[in-house]
Structure 1
Amino acid sequence: MGEAMPRDIIYLTDWRGLLLMKKRIMHIVQSAGGVERYILMLLKNMDSSKYENILVCSNDYKEENYNGLVNVFECINMIRPINIVSDVKAIIYVRSIIKKYKPNIVYMHSSKGGAIGRIANIGIKNNSIYNPHGWSFNMDCDPKKKAIYRWTERLLSRLCNIIIAISDYEKKTAIENKICRPDKIRVIYNGTDIDEYIRKKDIYSLTRADLGIQNDAYIIGTVGRLSKQKAPDTFIKAAGIIKKYIPKAFFLMVGDGEMKNEIEDLIRKMDLQKSVLVTGWVNEPMEYIRLFDQAMLLSRWEGFGLVLTEYMLAKKPIIATKVDAISDLITDRVNGLLVKMDDIEAIARASKEIYEDKELVNLMINNSFRLVNERFNIKRVVSELETLFNNK
């Protein structure tokens, strides 16, 4: 568990000699993947002279990744599926951690982390902020489950001060589903760490040869969890058609998840073993994105699509599905190509067009690069969050 930490408030002095309070922020999170990338970028860019950060997370998180970024790292057994026994134990333990460290602000991330954190925080004096990173009721799932998720979010919305939506679409669907009052929601668009990429891009050393990919291969890649949401099965099915258009196409899947075995079976069934590589989880997704000739995000639902900003930053032509918040980031034929969800023929046609039309590619990547610098810098995210923290 985390190291011991004094409970009394820490004070600093500014240049005028005034007494300032160093705020203690407790982050509670279960989900990994894009949510963890958000957490890492946020912690790296927060002002450590003004804030102490405590991370309370699931076993999917590794403490060594947070050395120097957090004052306390608490790893507990929080699991994604609903499990009454496990969830009650997690709530009890998280409540004890909140009481132990007495944070000024509890910032809860993802549906499960948000549910456990809000219940655990009942009756404790602090300010609480919840960021679902994509509403669970927007998922493609059984209508009964959607109804349960919707009612759960409505009930739990009363147990926090502010809800952060990561896109206009997220706020819109929250209002449509009557999750809470509109004035309780703040839209803070997600972002990517532009400065870090600039620092690292010249020292990235990963090569095609390291991955066993031929030098003349045309790499079509995707980054994301191997889960129903990210549609890795659609990516592989489209790959089978794309190979007919682009014989030298090679498909790189950066990520891992519960569908890994199913995807590997599908790759064998389609006889694509020599044309597809599934990397598993990696520490530096941008090092792999650099190798792409095309980048895809074929989500079935999406609260934001953080990896799209990484594709933009790396100047890769993008193919994405026209679902949910993706249209807040991608304008068709301006900074990417939009296709219908699970339409493998349309995906293949879009891939072929990008392969053949260099003028369109240059237009889209230039527009994307300008957009990510103007709107999706993590420093803007941190600035907006720190303003929120300081007003609490």
Structure 2
Amino acid sequence: MKKRKLLFVIDSLVVAGAEKSLITLLTLLDYRKFTVDLMLFAHGEMLEKMLPKEVNILRPLNYTNFTHLSPYKALIYSAKHLDLKMLNSRIKYSFNIRFKNYNNVQKARLFWQCAANVIEENSVYYDIAISYAQGVPTFYVADKVKAEKKFAWVNVSYRLDKKEAEYQKQFYDRFDKIVAVSDSAKDIFLETFPSYNPKVQVIYDINNPQFIYNMADAYEGYNDDFDGIRILTIGRLAYGKGYDIALEACKKLKEKGINFRWYVLGKGPLREEIQQFIKENKLENYFILLGVTANPYPFIKNCDIYVQTSRFEGFGLAIAEARILNKPVVTTRFDTVFNQMIDRKNGLVVDMNADAICEGIMELIRNQNLRNNIIDFLQHEKKGNVEEINRFYQLIG
């Protein structure tokens, strides 16, 4: 039987929800039936080492390599090849984003407007091409890939203003199906693009409990001798994850005299700002930035409470992983939270502010009966959703 050619495209394999979901999907694929190429726009991130050996990572784009050159070497390269197009694209994009605080959606549009004309097409004809993230991966699959079928994943609460919606519609028009990772993510996407309703469907981010159990037993995680309450948060150090809420809640817990440490796995643009807050409020021994790791599961397994202070999530994969490892969750009431949370059953869903987060944590610390009931519920609720791979197979035919 001839294998079908699949292409997946994602920005990079940083340690984040969509990326871990893609890794899990790729580990479950039947490679007797498929060959898989993977296109990345940034290479060398931690999750690459977790890819199945059958996955072929495509070489970096010429423009990706060019953007890694120093300005001097970029100029020499352009002069040597008698071609200033990539240099002009790079200068134009850098100039555009330097003087205004653009969000990620706007940056993706500006990048593609500046660079699309110098990014080469993929020469392979695929049976299926999948953009596994919004923005540049979606633009790339629409513009630069030839395939019998094209599918676009939406794995965040994707709200667009009129200008961004008008720009992105030309790309989404060229996809056969659009896949949202939760019912709420689908509803939010359709607020912007109601005409796409017939071609939007839901396939949840895939969790494989056995994989998580095995990884959680790999080592202990924490390397300190702290004997108080361990709180853990996982997520990119960015506005959407609500670290300002977490920091204020941490400050309040300290003021109440609680013996705790709040650990964070993640990296991102707010690291310096977070570190400054920690220093100014003397939280060095309370709010601990651990950076990133390819295996967060020992940290989840050995924490006491998992906390998510997000403003928005497409699904909330880290919460799902904490639930698999039977950890009580305190989470903000973001758009998609009730796709998996049952308030006061498998955790606490609270208002999106520091007081509410603090009180939720305090309740789990002080109310041992509630905490035990939540853990008991977690131990008996359904674990994971590897059956979602069947929805994927149905999608691609």
Give yes or no for TM over 0.5.
yes
Q: Does 1:182 align with 2:193?
A: no
Query: How far is 1:46 from its partner?
Result: 0.9
Conservation of the 8 A alpha-carbon contact between 1:322 and 1:338: yes
Conservation of the 8 A alpha-carbon contact between 1:92 and 1:120: no
* TM-score with structure 1 setting the length: 0.83
Query: How far is 1:200 from its partner?
Result: 3.2
Decide which moves more: 62-71 or 126-135. Answer: 62-71
Partner SS state of residue 139, structure 2: helix
Query: How far is 1:221 from its partner?
Result: 0.9
Q: How does 1:127-138 map to 2 (within 5 A)?
A: 127-137=149-159
Q: Does 1:36 align with 2:19?
A: yes
Select which of 69, 94, 108 maps to 1:82: 108
Conservation of the 8 A alpha-carbon contact between 1:255 and 1:281: yes
Query: How far is 1:269 from its partner?
Result: 1.1
Q: What is residue 112 of structure 1 aligned with on the other side?
A: 135
Partner SS state of residue 184, structure 2: helix
Between the aligned partners of 1:371 and 1:246, the Cα distance in structure 2 is 34
Q: CA RMSD in A?
A: 2.3
Report Cα offsets for 1:109-144 as digits up to 9, x if no partner. 22124432243247x34200000211432xxxxxxx
* TM-score with structure 2 setting the length: 0.82
Counterpart code for 1:220: I
Partner SS state of residue 319, structure 1: strand
Conservation of the 8 A alpha-carbon contact between 1:154 and 1:180: no
Q: What is residue 346 of structure 1 aligned with on the other side?
A: 356
Select which of 380, 384, 388 maps to 2:387: 380
Between the aligned partners of 2:187 and 2:335, the Cα distance in structure 1 is 10
Partner SS state of residue 303, structure 1: coil
Between the aligned partners of 1:48 and 1:125, the Cα distance in structure 2 is 19
Report Cα offsets for 1:71-101 as digits up to 9, x if no partner. 23333439952364666535753x522xx22
Q: Does 1:205 align with 2:228?
A: no
Decide which moves more: 164-173 or 364-373. Answer: 364-373
Select which of 61, 68, 91 maps to 2:53: 68
Q: What is residue 195 of structure 1 aligned with on the other side?
A: 210
Instruction: Indicate how the Cα distance of structure 1 residues 96 and 127 shifts in structure 2: closer, same or farther if over 3 A, else same.
Output: same
Select which of 13, 28, 31 maps to 1:45: 28
Between the aligned partners of 1:383 and 1:119, the Cα distance in structure 2 is 25
Percent identity for Structure 1 against Structure 2: 20
Instruction: Indicate how the Cα distance of structure 1 residues 156 and 237 shifts in structure 2: closer, same or farther if over 3 A, else same.
Output: same
Report Cα offsets for 1:323-346 as digits up to 9, x if no partner. 1111211121121111111x1111
Stretches of structure 2 lacking an aligned partner (at least 5 in a row): 68-92, 94-103
Between the aligned partners of 2:357 and 2:157, the Cα distance in structure 1 is 26
Q: What is residue 188 of structure 2 aligned with on the other side?
A: 173
Instruction: Indicate how the Cα distance of structure 1 residues 135 and 120 shifts in structure 2: closer, same or farther if over 3 A, else same.
Output: farther
Between the aligned partners of 2:363 and 2:2, the Cα distance in structure 1 is 56
Query: How far is 1:260 from its partner?
Result: 0.6
Decide which moves more: 269-278 or 69-78. Answer: 69-78
Between the aligned partners of 2:9 and 2:380, the Cα distance in structure 1 is 33
Between the aligned partners of 1:162 and 1:91, the Cα distance in structure 2 is 26
Partner SS state of residue 107, structure 1: strand
Q: What is residue 57 of structure 1 aligned with on the other side?
A: 40
Q: What is residue 250 of structure 2 aligned with on the other side?
A: 239
Stretches of structure 1 lacking an aligned partner (at least 5 in a row): 1-19, 138-144
